[in-house]
Chains A and B, each alone.
Chain A
Amino acid sequence: MTIDPIPPFVEDVGTNFAYLDPQTKRSIRRAILKAVAIPGYQVPFDSREMPMPPGWGTGGLQVTASLLTPDDTLKVIDQGTDDATNAITIRAFFSKVSGVPMTERTESATIIQTRHRIPETPLNENQILVLQVPQPEPFRRLIPSEKETRKIHALGNYGLMSVMLYENIARLGRVAIAYDYPVRVHDRYLASPSPIPTFDNPKLDNSPALAIFGAGREKRIYAIPPFTKVRSLEFDDYTFTTQSWEARCSLCGSSHTYLEQIGQGDKGSTRYVCSDTYYCKSHAHADEQR
């Protein structure tokens, strides 16, 4: 991984390039480097106020701001679409403070900031995926104490998470975790993949793109370096499964993407569309060409 020098200034706006001052960027980059060096480990960082409310992905925002150079092309998605309010606001922000080109094309982006989804288009080694994370600690709901959870990670004793899976199977016959399904990174740290659907978990495994997770409120950064083993927790006899649908996307006809239900059709039938709107558009186009 090469890291470009920190650009100081946007000439025509007269402020620091990408909002953060070089000092802050350097400290965030240091946290990122550490995170890359220890896959899945939550590195504390000095989270700053951003001109957006917390809950809008200020962690991801700071990661992106610290990485961005004038040569980058940015894609921002929320719930799989580039047109959601959150995505539009973040895009407008980076447009103003950096002037870098924005794109919807997954293939053209060098940095993709997202929450809730990983694009359907396979990523490549020139891309960085930045995920906005509300809660970086996979044990937080089970164990409120930070001291306790740090100890669990230090010991690498993740039996308690398996107990949670066990409880799911005992009560419901299966593991009923649809989002934020915990993963073991590089056979070591247990990490929260952020609120992506289980459907997206396999995309993290051995991905050519670097994934960086930023949690602003919780002041943590963690990473999955390129080509890193990422395993969703499972039992030998109850293996990890992702969401799947009987239906196809009613717009592009795709049967292999993450689908969202949209209202009822005319005759009371349920319709589904791709949640990744860019992929859906380009896929529909490809179908037309065939």
Chain B
Amino acid sequence: MPVEMENRGPSAGNDQDFYRPLLEVNGVTRLYLNGLGCRDISFVVHPGEVVGIVGESGSGKSTLLSCISGRATIDKGSVIYDMEGVGPKNIFEMSEVERERLALTEWGIIHQNPRDGVRMDVSAGGNIGERQMSLGLRHYGKIRQQAGDWLEKVEIDLDRIDDTPKAFSGGMQQRLQIARNLVTHPRLVFMDEPTGGLDISVQARIVDLLRALVRELGLAVIIVTHDLPMVRLLADRLLVMQRGTIIEEGLTDQVLDDPHHPYTQLLVSSLPRA
């Protein structure tokens, strides 16, 4: 397929599937009428890799994330995802039905506000079971068993399984959102400020949880955050955005310990020395 060939990135010369990127973002641009948004963004994510995106408020992080997860249209560029059993596909050349199906089977999305990603009037068990039911699991006992297992994994008491998340604390709601996404073992998870609205102590617990789950499940993650200490703990690689473009990119420790771009230096100077 010509499109796929055209869009092969630097690793295209390597025939072994093992080294093939899971996601390849090529020159993605989406500009709002006011000229803001994100511009000519390119990067890759490999299977099992955690990529952090940091940058000041308004630098286009959320815009970028919604583009590459297929929830917003783009003006230019392509997003190539290596589909299980199918191979690399430009998600913007898929039909909406195909794209939604892909998101359901292979992706997860964790929103900053649990209200955007959790059904508040459905029980915790029902929330966790939804994806499995959408994928066709029709055994109540199994759905419930796995819901219970996942509550345990995200450290929510099993006896809350039939409670609606309305009565949960913010941290619990966020952990439920994580369980709800990971229960079907997605390969790639998009996270936009997953600890954004939470207390510091609660944040730390979520970060620990995410770290453990990412490792256990071998997840690839793209995580947008303001939280540099968190990104150091979680991300293998880091992208720094300013005014809609990537201004610096590298291994997380490298970028944080030896920032090159003046903006990154400014950003990092606010960090307590490791």
Contact = CB atoms under 8 A, between A and B. Distances in A.
Given A236-B138, A237-B140, A155 B97 contact: yes
A237 B143 CA distance: 11
B126 A163 contact: yes
Interface string A230-274: 000011111000000000000000000000000000000000000
A276 to B, nearest CB: 33
Contact of B139 (A158, A160, A171, A236): A236
A236 B130 CA distance: 16
Interface in A141-186: 154-155, 157-160, 162-163, 166-167, 169-171
Contacts of A158: 134
Given A155-B97, A157-B104, A238 B130 contact: no
Contact of A167 (B97, B122, B135): B122
Contact of B126 (A154, A166, A238): A166
Assign chain B's interface to a size class.
20 to 34
Contacts of B211: none
Interface string B100-126: 110010000000000000010011011
A143 to B, nearest CB: 11
B131 interface: yes
A226 B100 CA distance: 32
A159 B139 contact: no
Contact of A171 (B97, B143, B162): B162
A166 B162 contact: no
A237 B141 CA distance: 7
A159 B97 contact: no
A238 B142 CA distance: 12
Contacts of A154: 96-97
Interface in A192-243: 234-238
Contact of A160 (B125, B130, B138, B143): B130
A155 B100 contact: yes
B166 to A, nearest CB: 14
Given A167-B126, A235-B139, A159 B144 contact: no
B165 interface: no
A170 B138 contact: no
Interface residues of A, number: 18
Contacts of B138: 162, 234-236
A170 B141 CA distance: 10
B141 A166 contact: no
B133 interface: yes
Contacts of A157: 100, 104, 134
A270 B54 CA distance: 71
Nearest to B164: A167
A93 B123 CA distance: 49
Interface in A102-158: 154-155, 157-158
A68 B270 CA distance: 79
A158 B134 CA distance: 6
Contacts of A238: 140
B133 A170 contact: no
Given A155-B101, A157-B104, A170-B123, A163 B140 contact: no
A163 B162 contact: no
A159 B100 contact: no
B129 interface: yes
Given A171-B162, A235-B138, A166 B101 contact: no
Contacts of B130: 159-160, 163
Contacts of B161: 170
Contacts of B101: 155
A262 B179 CA distance: 50
A18 B131 CA distance: 49
Contacts of A160: 130, 134
A237 B142 CA distance: 9
Nearest to B101: A155
6 contacts: A157-B104, A162-B133, A167-B126, A170-B126, A236-B140, A238-B140
Q: Which 9 A-B pairs have the closest CB atoms?
A: A159-B134, A162-B133, A159-B133, A235-B140, A236-B139, A163-B126, A163-B130, A236-B138, A238-B140
Interface of A: 154-155, 157-160, 162-163, 166-167, 169-171, 234-238
